[in-house]
A and B are shown apart, each in its own frame.
Chain A
């Protein structure tokens, strides 16, 4: 028997359709989506629109300002900046999404348990969340990265497992209020088990706010990766990421005389984060029309 009381239907349209309709009307969100699509596409089809491999280096061509051959110039060992920026996007975006997925999964699981069962489980999980929130994330990850070594996988893993507290709290709050809602109570009175109630009723209703918070988690992860790489910990050679490209600006000659080397990754980070913020903002407004701004 399928119980559909969970979907609060105020009119003929489904909430998802309504949300999408509101989202489309949100100009910034739409702009964000388009911008992000361009960034994503450029990274995905990087091999088609670059002339050089990201690792290809030619010392004879080092430190060249933009030209026809290298239209964003080359870095200190003669690698093509355009190519590295696009391939760097792959790494940065992959890290962003993968790490955000890990933290979201952890956050949703812990948050639902905490909010649904309350009591002891809630106490323990919330105190644990407090502990993790108290850590300075960057330094903890710097330290932990020492054991795991430099690899994309370890960067994803570390960012993921230290970034879940926000989502946990959000989900817990949602679940806390949901479990008292009538359709949940009704379902329980019909004899549904806890697992079933969580999976069929609670989680689907948590999806919407979680979706909005995922966008911020992705941003957080992209920025954290960039920050870690900027400090010299993170993605191994010769793989480019926006963060490790930016790291080169820490040497003075690059900062001062080679802006073409560090401005592209900086701008890409900025644009990506900006577009994802637009999308997230639009999503939040779309999901909860109360927040609608423009």
Chain B
């Protein structure tokens, strides 16, 4: 309990530091939100712009603005977007759902298929299956999302025309889960490749390792039937390390996948962040960073704790 408490408390300064660094970084980037309003080809006078800057409090020094922002956040107010006055919290809620849908699907496919295949080939070391899937898994982990995305778009949308090229729904048609799924196939499929390969490799590796452990040998020697050994000893123990990998993947549910979202015009968190940075939309950037950092830290915490609970051998002092 004491460990848990300390583990939680230590995250507070980390979180604070993260927000300070990001705030500095985005505020020190050249230009400000007002610059983004300007239509270069029409032109506007400096006085007009300074006037707007003053209205938005952009003429305050950065530390003052940071403290103001922090004070607001403490009261549960993430502020409004400079770009269009949207409530940052509302925008986050909408975008988070979309990203969660995309990343969650990709992760679920990755875990389900990857772990199954991993177990399958882990039990058949050196078989043809093993070589084939291990080989493919290398391709999977070597394929960056933007390359998989471009190939996916080119083959399945441009050439074959099986799936839509982007977006989340067919406009003009009634909203339906089917339509959403139809739009989800390519981006989620693209992302799942990497997840799948990763989970397969970890599971296989873990299976092999556990099979070599003394207690498994003992169990075999005791005369337990192979399926019983596999199920009771190997499988359960082998899944343990995968917890860590799943835990480490959780933040992506929130952070989103910038490249995939860009290629398939999926309006999620990754695309939003890039958009917000380009517009120097400070409240939006900070809102995203705050949520992301919170989730990353929480996921780390959960992973650590889950591990501690799951494996009593692990002791934290």
Q: Indicate yes or no for A touching B, C-beta below 8 A.
A: yes
Which candidate, A38-46, A48-56, A133-141, A179-187, is the interface stretch facing chain B? A133-141
Known: A130-B14, A135-B22. 7 other contacts (CB 8 A): A131-B18, A135-B21, A227-B259, A249-B150, A266-B147, A269-B144, A273-B142
Whether a CB of chain B sits under 8 angstroms from the CB of A246 is yes
What does the 1/0 interface line of A141-152 toward B look like (CB < 8 Å)? 011101100000
Please choose the segment from A62-70, A73-81, A84-92, A255-263 that sits at the chain B interface, where 4 or more of its residues have CB less than 8 A away.
A255-263
Per-residue interface assignment for chain B, residues 148 to 180, with 1 indicating a CB less than 8 Å from any chain A CB and 0 otherwise: 001101100010000000000000000000000
Min Cβ gap B96→A in Å is 14
Contacts A130-B297, A139-B273, A147-B28 known; A278 to B138 CB distance under 8 Å?
yes
Residue in contact with B154 in the complex, picked from A133, A144, A146, A259, CB distance below 8 Å: A259
State which residues 129-157 of B face A: CB under 8 Å. 131, 134, 138-139, 141-144, 146-147, 150-151, 153-154
Asked if B185 is an interface residue, CB under 8 A from chain A, the answer is no
Given contact pairs A231-B262, A293-B208, A136 touches B142 in the complex (Cβ within 8 A): no
Binary flags per residue of A276-292, CB closer than 8 Å to B gives 1, else 0 = 01100100000000110
For A138, give the chain B residue with the smallest CB separation. B258
A223–B258 CB distance below 8 A: no
- Counting chain B residues whose Cβ lies within 8 A of the other chain, the interface size class is 35 or more
Given known A-B contacts A131-B17, A142-B277, A230 and B259 have beta carbons under 8 A apart? yes
Note all chain A residues with C-beta closer than 8 A to B112. Answer: none
The 3 closest A-B pairs by CB, nearest first: A274-B142, A273-B142, A134-B293
Within 8 A of A (CB), among B269-314: 273-274, 277, 289, 292-293, 296-297, 300
User: Once the chains bind, are A134 and B18 in contact (CB under 8 Å)?
Assistant: yes
Nearest A residue (CB) for B269? A136
Contacts of B10 in A (CB 8 A): 127
B interface with A by C-beta (< 8 Å)? 10-11, 13-14, 17-18, 21-22, 25-26, 28-30, 126, 131, 134, 138-139, 141-144, 146-147, 150-151, 153-154, 158, 205, 208-209, 255, 258-259, 262, 273-274, 277, 289, 292-293, 296-297, 300
User: Contact at B141–A146, with CB atoms within 8 Å?
Assistant: no
B126 touching A294, Cβ below 8 Å: yes
Question: Contacts of A255 on B, CB cut-off 8 Å?
Answer: 150, 153-154, 158
Smallest distance from the beta carbon of B18 to chain A beta carbons, Å? 5
User: A28 CA to B18 CA in the complex, in Å?
Assistant: 41
Contact of A139 among B150, B277, B300 (CB under 8 A): B277
Cβ-defined contact, B258 with A139, below 8 A:
yes
Q: How many A-B residue pairs have CB under 8 A?
A: 100
Name the prevailing secondary structure of the B interface residues.
Answer: helix
A34 at the interface (CB under 8 A from B): no
Q: How far is the CA of A139 from the CA of B289 in the complex (A)?
A: 10
Q: What are 11 A-B pairs with beta-carbon distances under 8 A?
A: A130-B300, A134-B293, A147-B30, A226-B146, A227-B259, A249-B150, A255-B150, A256-B158, A266-B147, A293-B134, A294-B126
Question: When the two chains form the complex, which single residue of A127, A273, A294 contacts B144, counting CB atoms closer than 8 Å?
Answer: A273
Query: Which residues 207-234 of A have a CB within 8 angstroms of B?
Result: 219, 223, 226-227, 230-231
- Tell me which residues across on chain B come within 8 A of A28, comparing CB atoms: 138
Min distance, Cβ A141 to any Cβ of chain B, angstroms: 11
Q: How far is the CA of A294 from the CA of B205 in the complex (A)?
A: 12
Do A135 and B14 touch (CB < 8 A)?
Answer: no
- For the complex formed, measure the closest distance between the CB of B145 and the CB atoms of chain A, giving whole angstroms: 8
Residues of the A chain whose Cβ atoms lie less than 8 Å from the Cβ of B258: 136, 138-139, 231
Q: Which of chain B's residues have a CB closer than 8 A to the CB of A59?
A: none
Residues of B within 8 A of A3 (CB): none
